[in-house]
């Protein structure tokens, strides 16, 4: 399969024909995808299976916020590589039947003009087209009895602010969501603890696996509390002796942690002989930069 070498008006037109940037839940189609037909991203890409479809993440940095997002309560949907419309468009919540689809809000071209920012373009074969900006992650929350709420998240590596053009485009992205009444976060490596990010990446295979029952999670929680300070290996063997398999033990233990039911110190390394340390729930929740809504944007 041929790999596209760079973005061009023809590539963007192909994305439009494919319906990218549309859909919700398992039918959502990210604007950028990890495929041979897309120009390669600058980082290491990931495909993460979650809630019935593959999530297209273009770097290690994007993987962290995606995993942190799945830990949050009342998460109804999660859209990665979310398209920002160049021309006026309905609110994203119209796709969830919560806004008037005929009411249009400013697109990036109008906003860029009002902010005095040159809108990016792409060129190829004698043609030009306005570049379609995207937001790395848009979370959709739905608390019982409440309307849906959106949270937009951009990820950038350290040193992004050394590039004035990148800062301009982030300002444009932020204003796009502000016009829609949506909170926008800028996540960089400094918003999270590296050891915590590595830990959640290691345990995600269990946490996002087939769902453990509430009874299984309770068993894991009780064992971990009774054996507080003992090694990870000891705790898992104790759970497995009750549930009948190490696979079930791994799944129930780490899902209890993932859901915040068992607040463990995630600043641990990979070694299984290290003890599992319980910690206060409030401190545990500060590990999650998305849940804490920390942002690197200060302008």
Contact status, residue 240 vs residue 249, Cβ threshold 8 Å? yes
Total domain count, the chain: 2
Residues 75 and 184 in one domain: yes
177 token code pair: 């969501």
Residues 215 and 185 in one domain: no
DSSP 90: E
Q: Residue range 79-88: average pLDDT?
A: 98
Contact status, residue 164 vs residue 172, Cβ threshold 8 Å? no
Residues 65 and 205 in one domain: no
- Does 210 have pLDDT greater than 80? yes
- Does 1 have pLDDT greater than 50? no
Beta-strand ranges (E) seen in the chain are: 46-50, 53-57, 75-83, 89-90, 104-105, 121-124, 127-130, 134-141, 149-155, 183-187
pTM, rounded to two decimals = 0.94
Q: Does the residue 142 lie in any domain?
A: yes
pLDDT digits (tens, 9 = 90+) for 236-265: 999 999 999 999 999 999 999 999 999 999
Higher pLDDT, 147 or 41: 147
Q: Residue range 120-126: average pLDDT?
A: 94
- Does 42 have pLDDT greater than 80? no
Residues 83 and 216 in one domain: no
The residue assigned the tokens 């398209």 is 83
Q: What percent of the chain has pLDDT over 70?
A: 99
Residues 213 and 82 in one domain: no
Q: Which of 50-54, 220-224, 245-249 has the lowest mean pLDDT?
A: 50-54
Tell me which residue range forms the domain holding 124.
9-191
- Does 183 have pLDDT greater than 50? yes
Q: How confident is the model at residue 4 (pLDDT cuts 50, 70, 90)?
A: low
Q: Does the residue 204 lie in any domain?
A: yes
Q: How far is residue 254 CA from its own chain's centroid? A: 19
Last residue of a domain, one of 191, 206, 233: 191
pLDDT of residue 3: 54
Residues 170 and 117 in one domain: yes
118 token code pair: 């040159």
Rounded CA gap, 40 and 34, in Å?
8
Rounded CA gap, 11 and 26, in Å?
24
């Amino acid at each position: 399969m041929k790999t596209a070498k760079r973005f061009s008006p023809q590539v963007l037109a192909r994305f439009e024909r494919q319906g990218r940037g549309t859909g919700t839940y398992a039918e959502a189609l990210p604007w950028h995808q990890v495929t041979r037909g897309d120009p390669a991203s600058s980082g290491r890409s990931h495909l993460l299976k979650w809630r019935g479809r593959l999530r297209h993440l273009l770097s290690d940095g994007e993987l962290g916020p995606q995993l942190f997002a799945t830990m949050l309560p009342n998460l109804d949907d999660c859209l990665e590589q979310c398209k920002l419309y160049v021309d006026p468009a309905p609110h994203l919540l119209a796709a969830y039947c919560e806004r008037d689809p005929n009411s249009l809000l400013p697109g990036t071209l109008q906003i860029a003009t009002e902010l005095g920012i040159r809108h990016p373009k792409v060129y190829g074969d004698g043609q030009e087209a306005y570049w379609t900006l995207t937001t790395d992650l848009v979370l959709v929350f739905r608390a019982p009895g409440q309307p849906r709420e959106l949270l937009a998240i951009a990820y950038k590596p350290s040193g992004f602010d050394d590039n004035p053009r990148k800062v301009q485009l982030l300002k444009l992205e932020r204003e796009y969501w502000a016009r829609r009444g949506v909170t926008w976060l800028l996540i960089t490596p400094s918003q999270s603890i590296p050891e915590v990010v590595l830990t959640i990446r290691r345990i995600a295979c269990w946490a996002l696996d087939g769902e453990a029952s509430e009874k299984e999670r309770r068993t894991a929680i009780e064992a971990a509390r009774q054996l507080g300070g003992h090694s990870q290996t000891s705790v898992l063997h104790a759970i497995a002796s009750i549930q009948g398999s190490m696979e079930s033990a791994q799944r129930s233990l780490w899902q209890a942690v993932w859901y915040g039911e068992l607040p463990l110190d995630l600043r641990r390394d990979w070694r299984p002989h290290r003890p599992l340390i319980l910690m206060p729930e409030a401190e545990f929740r500060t590990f999650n930069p998305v849940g804490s809504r920390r942002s690197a944007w200060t302008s």
